[in-house]
């Protein structure tokens, strides 16, 4: 009796479980390669790992040493400078381009892809191009001299105090078009009638944008901020290609710090600790954002 029933039962049960079975490889990979690895790296950050992973617990020693390192402070301060300028400038350029592009501009279809194409490039390509463009020997400085502006000087990339700003320039070039696209999508979603009404009431263009349009773009601002902040914290390739962290160590960021301490300076424990701090700062930005986004959908 039982055995004859088992056949259809098994098949329906299989049907019931099939979705979960199909999903399971991805979920398994996620738990191992993402969350398992995160736990493992956190664990390593509490051990005395050097060239190879070691499992001897040393408590928070790595974190204490990390925050005592000049190089780490340089990286953190650089990230602060880089991230704030990068976010502010990208947002300003992106917003201006979007608002201007939204004024029934002839050739919008041609301009938009021009603003956005850098986003399709690798940061290594961007870094290579700007490295030579900003090079005093062959780049802009040389060009200006040849064009007759003899006193023109632009050698930030060779200057310890200014090199971090060259990273901002290249990064803004790469992503500001993308921010433009985000704002443009936001602008196109705004109800036109409201603007017409305000205009009839005699509001000036400036006030119209300041009082009505820009506040309505709040979601786009939030998205832009989150995306840019997380890109800034993860910035690695651009530094490698553009400045190599130099001159000296003047443009190290946490991402390059982590790499060099872990893989070339044989301080895996400290490298792991710095990665944990990077993760925590990204989590602090992303988690509330993703949580809110997922909630809204229901």
Cβ proximity to other proteins, 163 vs 255, nearer residue: 255
Q: Is 15 in the site for other proteins (CB under 8 A)?
A: yes
Cβ proximity to other proteins, 10 vs 132, nearer residue: 132
Cβ proximity to other proteins, 161 vs 225, nearer residue: 225
Residues sharing a CB contact under 8 Å with residue 177, sequence separation 6 or more, in sequence order: 94, 97, 115, 116, 117, 118, 119
Q: Is 104 in the site for other proteins (CB under 8 A)?
A: yes
Q: Segment near other proteins (CB under 8 A), from 17-25, 56-64, 65-73, 154-162?
A: 17-25
Judged by CB under 8 A, which of 9, 92, 96, 153 binds other proteins? 96
Q: How far is the CB of 251 from other proteins (least distance, A)?
A: 15
Q: Is 195 in the site for other proteins (CB under 8 A)?
A: yes
Q: Is 69 in the site for other proteins (CB under 8 A)?
A: no
Q: How far is the CB of 188 from other proteins (least distance, A)?
A: 4
Q: Is 80 in the site for other proteins (CB under 8 A)?
A: no
Q: Segment near other proteins (CB under 8 A), from 32-40, 59-67, 77-85, 153-161?
A: 32-40
Q: Segment near other proteins (CB under 8 A), from 58-66, 71-79, 82-90, 190-198?
A: 190-198
- DSSP string for residues in the chain: -HHHHHHHHHHHHHHHHHHHHHHHHHHHHIIIIIIIHHHHHHHHTTB--SSS----B-TTHHHHHHHT-HHHHHHHHHHHHHHHHHHHHHHHHHHHHHHHHTTT-TTHHHHHHHHHGGGGS-HHHHHHHHHHHT-TTTSHHHHHHHTT-TT----GGG-TTTHHHHHHHHHHHHHHHHHHHHHHHHHHTS-HHHHHHHHHTT--HHHIIIIIIHHHTHHHHHHHHHHHHHHHHH--HHHHHHTTT-STTTT--HHHHHHIIIIISS-HHHHHHHHHHHHHHHHHHHHHHHHHHHHHT-
Q: Segment near other proteins (CB under 8 A), from 61-69, 83-91, 156-164, 213-221?
A: 213-221
Judged by CB under 8 A, which of 233, 245, 267, 270 binds other proteins? 233
Tokens of 31: 């738990």
Q: Is 236 in the site for other proteins (CB under 8 A)?
A: yes
HSE value, Cβ hemisphere, 13 Å, CA-based, for 271: 19
Instruction: Name the one residue in this structure whose structure tokens are 């840019």.
Output: 228
Judged by CB under 8 A, which of 6, 10, 30, 211 binds other proteins? 30
Q: Is 35 in the site for other proteins (CB under 8 A)?
A: yes
Judged by CB under 8 A, which of 66, 167, 227, 270 binds other proteins? 227
Judged by CB under 8 A, which of 55, 57, 100, 152 binds other proteins? 100
Q: Taking CB under 8 A as the criterion, which residues in 137-156 touch other proteins?
A: 137-140, 142-143, 146-147
| CA atoms 269, 275, 281, 286: torsion sign | negative
Judged by CB under 8 A, which of 259, 267, 270, 273 binds other proteins? 259
Q: Segment near other proteins (CB under 8 A), from 60-68, 69-77, 83-91, 262-270?
A: 262-270
76 and 291 Cβ atoms separated by less than 8 Å: no
Q: How far is the CB of 77 from other proteins (least distance, A)?
A: 18
């Amino acid at each position: 009796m039982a055995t004859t029933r088992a056949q259809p039962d098994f098949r329906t049960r299989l049907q019931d479980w099939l979705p979960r079975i199909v999903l399971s490889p991805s979920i398994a990979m996620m738990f191992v390669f993402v969350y398992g690895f995160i736990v493992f790296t956190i664990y390593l950050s509490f051990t005395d790992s050097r060239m190879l992973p070691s499992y001897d617990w040393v408590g928070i020693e790595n974190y204490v040493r990390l925050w005592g390192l000049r190089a780490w402070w340089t990286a953190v301060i650089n990230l602060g400078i880089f991230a704030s300028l990068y976010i502010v400038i990208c947002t300003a350029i992106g917003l201006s381009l979007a608002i201007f592009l939204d004024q029934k501009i002839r050739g919008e279809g041609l301009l938009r892809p021009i603003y956005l194409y850098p986003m399709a490039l690798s940061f290594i390509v961007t870094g290579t191009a700007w490295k030579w463009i900003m090079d005093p020997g062959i780049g802009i400085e040389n060009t200006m001299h040849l064009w007759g502006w003899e006193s023109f000087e632009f050698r930030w990339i060779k200057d310890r105090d200014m090199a971090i700003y060259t990273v901002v320039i290249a990064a803004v070039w790469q992503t500001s078009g993308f921010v433009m696209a985000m704002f443009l999508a936001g602008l196109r979603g705004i109800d036109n009638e409201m603007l017409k009404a305000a205009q009839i009431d005699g509001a000036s263009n400036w006030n119209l944008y300041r009082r009505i349009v820009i506040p309505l773009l709040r979601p786009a601002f939030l998205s832009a901020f989150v995306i840019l902040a997380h890109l800034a914290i993860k910035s690695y390739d651009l530094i490698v290609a553009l400045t190599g962290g130099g001159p000296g160590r003047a443009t190290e960021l946490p991402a390059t710090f982590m790499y060099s301490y872990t893989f070339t300076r044989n301080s895996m424990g400290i490298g792991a600790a710095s990665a944990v701090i990077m993760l925590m700062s990204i989590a602090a930005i992303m988690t509330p954002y993703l949580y809110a986004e997922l909630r809204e959908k229901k």
